[in-house]
Amino acid sequence: MSPSPSRHRPARPGARVLGGVAVAAALAVVGCGGDSSTPQTGASAPAPVTTATTPRALTHAELVQRADAACAKAAKAIGAIPVARSLSALADYADAARRIGQDLRDQLGALTPGADDQAAFATYLDGIDASNAALDEMRTAAQDGDARAVRDAAQAIEQTAVGVLATRAGLPGCAATAPDGTAS
């Protein structure tokens, strides 16, 4: 590496993109859950499920307690991932964040909201699906060394507004971990 005059422009913007984008992207996914759009009666589940796993609709308070606890656990796991300082490190960061987001998705997908919560919860989970997909795009872009595509993926995650969706679903703990500043 040769010394750079006063400010090496590509490194500085890249560092800002990597630091802010990675953390915001990861928190957007993790802070706001997973996706229950995968049918629980899918082909991967064995037909006889008649034990204690029979889902019952949760009260709103139960849904909030379980979802917010899962979001807090996932946010803690995201916080433990070292912040990326290069595009190649960002690829690893985005992959780790997506895996945590997928685990959270599985946990939240196992919850059965009551009738009054179903629509808002499903919309919130759809936002998480979009965020997880954008994290995959971010990982690929970072692997390819494409900072612009990384930024585009981060913008796609922000546009999912998962904090707003979590707030609308009545999940204050999940909304509080969202990077879009919508939780209060």
Domain ranges of the chain: 12-34+56-176
| SS3 state of residue 18 | helix
**Could you tell me how far CA 79 lies from the centroid of its own chain?**
13
What is the pLDDT, as a whole number, of residue 132?
Answer: 92
pLDDT of residue 120: 97
Q: What is the pTM of this model?
A: 0.72
- Rounded Cα gap, residues 144 and 180, in angstroms: 27
The reported pLDDT for the residue numbered 129 is: 87
What is the per-residue pLDDT for 2?
A: 44
Predicted local confidence at residue 1, as pLDDT: 46
Residue type, 56: R
Walk along the chain (184 residues) in steps of 10 and give the mean pLDDT of each run: 41 43 54 37 40 78 96 92 91 94 89 96 91 95 95 93 92 82 41
pLDDT given for residue 93 in this prediction: 95
Residue 74 neighbours by CB under 8 Å, 6+ apart: 30, 31, 100, 101, 103, 104
pLDDT of 133: 93
> Quick one: pLDDT at residue 52?
57
R_g of the chain, CA atoms, integer Å: 18
Tokens linked to 18: 């990597």
Please measure the distance between the N-terminal and C-terminal CA atoms of the chain and give it in whole angstroms: 45
Residue with tokens 């560092």: 15
Tell me how far apart the alpha carbons of residues 103 and 74 are, in angstroms, rounded to a whole number: 8
Q: What is the reported pLDDT for 181?
A: 43
Report the distance separating Cα 87 and Cα 169, nearest Å. 35
Q: Which of 47, 15, 36 is nearest to 122 (CA)?
A: 36
Residue 147 backbone phi and psi in degrees, to 5: -60, -35
